Structure 1
Amino acid sequence: MNDKRLVLKKGYKLRSSQAISPFGVGAVVDFKKQSLMAASTQFWNIDKCREIHDERLERVLNVDTFYIPENLDVDEYYGFPFVNFPEWYFCPSCRKFKPISEWEREFLIKPQNKKAEAMLEPKCVTCKNVDLVPARIVCVCKEGHITDFPWVAWVHYKSNKTDKQICTDKPQLKISTLGSTTGLEGIRVECEHCKASASLQGSFKKGVFKEIISNLNKLGKEDLANNFKCDGNMPWSLSKEKCELEEELVVVQRGASNIHYSKVISSIVIPPYSNKLSQDVEKNRTYREIVRDIEDLDENETCEDFLNDKNVKRRIKRIAEDLRFDLDEVTKIIYRKLIKNESNCYIELIYKAEEYKAMTGQIEIENLLESDFKLKNTDIEMYGLDFLAQVVLVEKLREVRALVGFTRILPPDSKHFNENGDSQEAKLVSTKQKNWYPAYEVRGEGLFIEFDFDKLSKWAKNPDVINRANILHTRKDSQIKLRGDKARNISPEFIALHTFAHLLIKQLSFDCGYSSASLRERIYFNNDENTIKMCGILIYTASGDAEGTLGGLTRQGYPDRLPQIILKALLNASWCSNDPVCIESNGQGRDSLNLASCYSCSLVSETSCEEFNSLLDRGLLIGTLDNKKIGYLESLVD
């Protein structure tokens, strides 16, 4: 789509993985010369993107494929564009402060710039091309909308000139700083047209806009009051919508971490979907032609009828001949890929259960055909740790991470999709229906550890353990209710497994050479009698720039290494540098969703954690100061 509001300039580049997270659709990216926002996928040029397939994830998200932008030469731009945001810029020389559209208009009317289509970089032409600086603060709401701070309305309201005519049509703002005063009161904005002037003091106060709106409504200034309400602005899609929370705008720094949280759904590619033959079929030209024909089917014609057609069967036979493989196997793969039904809609529990079965050897694997998934079993007796049931070395794995949306102010809940396979509560990456999501893939290795389910369950029945775990369960439950999501059981077993995974990541980063940000966790737990029981963790490489590894992580899983690593991790966790404050804490982190857990002992990079560094408590592993016996692995520390 060719839209002048889209920024398609040379030099505005990201790494491919960054286009998914942390700078996915809707995120503000601070480039050297300008701050821009990644545009919606509806504007992406998929001809400049590489296609990725994960059959299992495609079915859950109800899409046909995934795309990742390719890294291009410096003289070209990516397959995805940006939009201008924030729009307000000021000149550090003349201190003029106005939207980028006005700066560009001023640039284009100059005789020497009449042949130019746009201003390549924000510059003040009256100050000999001084680089402009984007506004430092913006406004967001919990619905995912984002807009510029209401500079004009703020200046005229705060200057106590609401009883006079204000120049909302032709404001001429200038911004200045008082060197003798620090903080927001030292930043002052003035309107040269009507001499209204105000500092930014109080702009970050909670509920400040709500208070202003109430005051203006009492004065009969509803038009001015509307400037402080959320207008449903969605600059990434060049559109607006009605905001249900129109009075709850929050002022944040442009580069604040809570301005954008990517909603990324990850999937381990497991057998039979990781089968090399399955991947070869996807790449076959004839298969791609069949897929395109299915997309053009009439509403009255089903996919099954199409595949049973004699001509289509001949094309399938041609695919088998091209690949030099058994026709029945190729046919089975094609039918599995193209025929979708209700049974393909998964809740996350069932989705993870498939991976758990693959990790524990419950899915038969033909090793000679597996190019992206390879396991190596070990003898658990050689580890000498009775709380472990199994250790599996994952020598090869591939993970696909799809960006389905994003949130602002609060991170998305870790519950990825519901019973209908829909992503929850996040703003979508496109306002128009698409049959694909942006994604990238990671190839690496992993270490799967299965705990003894019965022993862990027996420990979790201790009343002291239950009472401690219920603290986090109650807090998480209240947060979930605010979002309108379904209740979620935060059990002592889950907290113990999750905390153990964090301690192991921190220790492995010292022992195998990976940084903690390059390792990632995947927690498998379920104690529902009516479904598959799961009790294990997967630690795996998570570096999107690596095509493979040197085996450093799986080497740590051998019997001569892993027991020592686990003991050292528990020993380090037994005393935190912030103790006794940390171990005696009644709540730390976001919404107090951690107990005895801080960055000095068990928190890791948020990109490595499924729960955004929440629901952690080392007290349930190594005990507390007044109750050592509460710790599941306290005996190992002794």
Structure 2
Amino acid sequence: MIDKNWFTPVRFSHLTSHAAVGSIVRDQNDWLMNVKDTRFWSAQKMTQLYAVERVKQHLRIHQRLLLPPTAEFDDSKNLKIHGATIPTERFPSWMKCNRCDLLFFEPWCTSEAAIDEQINCNKCKSGNLEQLTWCATSSFGDLVNVPWHLICHRNSKKRCVPDRENSYLKVVSGQRGKQIVKCEKCKSQAVFEQADFKLNNHFQIKQKFPSLLESEITYTIMEVNDPRVYTPQNAQALVIPPESNIDKNSLEYKLELNSQLINDIKNATRNLQRKKLIKRAISALHCTESELMAALKNKVTTTTSLEPEIVAGDMLGDEYLALITPEDFHESADFRTQHMTSDWLKYIDELQEASELQSSARLVDRLVAVDRLRVIEVLKGFSRAASDIEAHQPIPVLPPDLVNEADWLPAIELFGEGIFFTLDAEKLKEWESTQALRQRANEIEQRYQDSNMLLPDDATPSPRFIMLHTLAHILIRELESTAGYPAASLQERIYCSSSDNMAGILIYTAVADVAGSLGGIVDLARPDKFMRLFDAALRQADWCSLDPVCGEMEGQGPSWLNRAACHACALVPDTSCSYNNVFLDRVFIKGNSASGIPSLRDVMRNIDG
């Protein structure tokens, strides 16, 4: 009989972020678990994503994209699993008694307690065992248990033999709250927080980095919730026309959903085998043989004609073009927009309020309601860090299978809605040419070059990008209070390029459900409502509850990559930001007269004047 307590439900969207391969998650029984790599996943039970060839080309991905496996229990007494699960293992393997502080290695192996029951200490008999929250990581992606005996005795001259069968090590708080590991046998002790040690048994990386097989690498002891322990590397893209226009009732769409069967037909070497597969396809797709052959031929022709138009890496440019181009969409399209620009410009002309409000509004030259969008998010890998990594060195990224041999990557599809608007790129050129503004952006760029942070290629700390990114964050925070959306449910896409005259922001909400959201965001694209939202965001940029401290900071955040931006004004949940909450500075919106930096309002006021 299967015990439900061994299984923990996880949000689909978390499987390409903080609960992805290599992460440490807490299950429903309060155990810390390490998510195993994709070599242990049931790929044959996973669904391949359809209509994503354009996305793969742009993201430079040649592997298949598969949805993570899903499973559910039936209502019978046997609790049978339908589908597949993602395997995990308990990690860290050490537990500590909450009374006597003794450490135990994998005590669940000898305990009769169920997974949802506490394990009692067999030494003091009065305490319960709790999982230690310390682990050791290397900058090459390795994750291991802390070698407590080694750490405790490495500076000791006493000879003490390690013994995992008996408990003799304790973890206690020392002077000034520092964590100490102590040996009850020889009385050795050592402070271990952020301590480094060297090992050469790097089991996770030996195939990925063969040059390190004979060398020792550095590990750093950290708490499992330290952000350096796990950083997922994922990529996102919108599905846009023509792929988004696929008719879900068409045979071509059904071919995409049965891609493995179609590939088997194409690769069949024997005529009898091919006929058998064709018969199976006809039954699965509910079509005739002639319809199937015609659809297969049309699919090949369509794919061939599309491929030369796709340029890898230019996805944001293509998305921008799709967002600003009016088009008629059929009801089942995965990408549908309503262009509100003419209504927006008419509304601005009719404004009877202060000229300052009207001038600010004229900075927005396009307004689009995105009624429906489909977002593909791909997990490309993950990274970890140790203290030996130098500031200017990039941290290696491990693929989801650790050895880079799999022909697929885990990916999810999200459905939702959003608001897209552009700022007048021509009017921004005068603003971004200000010397003081460029100097302020150059300081942030230099800090980024000196750091080991790895951000998407489109994250360039130019004046335009910093302004757009900061404005997007403030809009997300404003939407949280005006529209009732939690900030963590909103996401951003920044379209920025001086050479292509791009200056756009897409704020959207998307969920792993084909139904998407309920239209609340789209409703805010009405000119009158968007006017209030945009004006409120500009006013919020003027002031922070931590000013003047926040506004005068020389640097904040990781590697000092933010200036006037803190948790009280411009930071948003990590799930909402595509750029690790950096390259943020309210001064690029509100200006700074002392430094000679004009505000966006000043730019529009000078132009209108």
TM-score by length of 2: 0.80
Write out aligned runs for 1:3-82 (5 A).
10-31=6-27, 32-53=29-50, 54-59=52-57, 60-73=60-73, 75=79, 78-82=84-88
**1:415-444 deviation digits (Å, cap 9, x = unpaired):** xxxxxxxx9942111034222221222111
1: CA distance, partners of 2:444 / 2:366: 29
- Find out whether 1:143 has 2:149 as its counterpart: no
What's the CA shift string for 1:439-495, capped at 9, x where partnerless? 222111011111111111221111111111111111122336x87998974211111
C-alpha distance in structure 1 between counterparts of 2:494 and 2:455, whole Å? 24
1:477 aligns with 2:477: no
Corresponding residue for residue 526 of structure 1: 497
How far the C-alpha of 1:391 sits from its partner, in A, is 0.6
Partner amino acid, structure 1, of 2:320: Y
Deviation of residue 86 (structure 1)?
Answer: 1.3
> How far apart are residue 502 of structure 1 and its match?
0.9
Corresponding letter in the other structure for 2:400: V
Equivalent of 2:223, from 218, 237, 253? 253
TM-score, scaled relative to structure 1 = 0.77
Instruction: Give me the whole-angstrom Cα distance separating, in 2, the residues matched to 1:230 and 1:485.
Output: 32
Please state whether the residue corresponding to 2:372 is helix, strand or coil: strand
Structure 1 residues 230 and 85: CA distance shift in structure 2, 3 A:
farther
Q: Which residue of 2 aligns with 1:157?
A: 154
Q: Which residue among 157, 161, 169 is the counterpart of 1:167?
A: 161
User: Is residue 2:479 matched to residue 1:508?
Assistant: yes
Cα offset, 1:337, TM superposition: 4.7
- Aligned equivalent of 2:131, options 131, 134, 139: 134
Q: Which amino acid aligns with 2:18?
A: P
* Structure 1 residue 543: Cα displacement: 3.9
Q: Within 5 Å, give how 1:437-456 maps onto structure 2.
A: 437-456=409-428
Answer yes or no: is the 8 Å Cα contact 1:264–1:404 preserved in 2.
Answer: yes
Give 5+ residue unaligned stretches, structure 2: 349-360, 387-393
Please tell me whether residue 497 in structure 1 is matched to residue 507 in structure 2. no
Quickly say closer, same or farther: Cα 1:424–1:341, change in 2 above 3 A.
Answer: farther
Cα 1:274–1:184 shift into 2, 3 Å: same
Alpha-carbon offset, residue 633 of structure 1: 3.2
Asked whether the 8 Å contact 2:23–2:35 carries over to 1, the reply is yes
- Of 312, 318, 339, 1:346 maps to 312
Instruction: Between 620-629 and 575-584, report the one with greater CA deviation.
Output: 620-629
Indicate the residue corresponding to 2:370 in structure 1. 394
In 1: Cα distance, 2:53 partner to 2:249 partner: 10
Amino acid at match of 1:260: Y
Which of residues 587, 591, 594 is equivalent to 1:623? Answer: 591
Q: Does 1:427 align with 2:398?
A: yes
Aligned letter for 1:371? A
Contact preservation (8 Å) 1:51, 1:67: yes
In structure 2, the CA distance between the partners of 1:339 and 1:37, relative to structure 1 (3 Å rule), is: farther
Go from structure 1 to structure 2 and tell me whether the alpha carbon gap of 1:386 and 1:295 turns closer, same or farther (over 3 Å shift): farther
Q: Is the 1:526–1:534 contact (alpha carbons within 8 Å) kept by the matching residues of 2?
A: yes
Q: The residue matched to 1:583 in structure 2 has which SS?
A: helix
- Counterpart code for 2:323: M
1:8–1:82 contact (8 Å) kept in structure 2? no
Deviations for 1:168-224, whole angstroms, at most 9, x for unmatched residues? 366744344668966125x442153xx243143xx235xx53xxxxxxxxxxxxxxx
Asked if the contact 1:16/1:71 (under 8 Å) is kept, the reply is no
Within 5 A, what are the aligned runs for 1:138-537?
138-158=135-155, 160-161=156-157, 164-168=158-162, 172-176=166-170, 183-185=177-179, 187-192=180-185, 195-200=186-191, 203-205=192-194, 208-209=195-196, 228-229=198-199, 231-234=201-204, 242=212, 246-277=216-247, 280=250, 281-284=252-255, 288-294=260-266, 331-337=297-303, 346-347=312-313, 350-361=314-325, 365-368=327-330, 370-378=332-340, 379=342, 380-384=344-348, 385-409=361-385, 425-432=396-403, 433-479=405-451, 489-528=460-499, 532-537=500-505
Shift of 1:597: 0.7
Decide whether aligned partners of structure 1 residues 240 and 28 sit closer, same or farther in structure 2, where only a CA change above 3 A counts. farther
Structure 1 residue 267: Cα displacement: 1.4
Instruction: Report if the CA contact (8 A) 1:374-1:394 is conserved.
Output: yes
- Distance in 2 between the 1:570 and 1:150 partners? 53
Counterpart of 2:352? none
The question of whether the paired residues in 1 share the 8 Å contact of 2:459 and 2:579 is answered with no
Q: Is the contact made by 1:140 and 1:409 (CA closer than 8 Å) also made in structure 2? A: yes
Aligned mates of 1:555, 1:515 — CA distance in 2: 17
Task: Describe the shift of the 1:579–1:233 C-alpha distance in structure 2 as closer, same or farther (beyond 3 A).
Answer: farther
| Root-mean-square deviation (Å) | 4.2
CA 1:468–1:276 in structure 2 vs 1: closer, same or farther (change >3 Å)?
Answer: same
Q: Which amino acid aligns with 1:234?
A: Q
Q: Deviations over 1:268-307 (max 9, x none)?
A: 1111111232685343477542223456789xxxxxxxx9
Partner of 1:69: helix, strand, or coil? coil
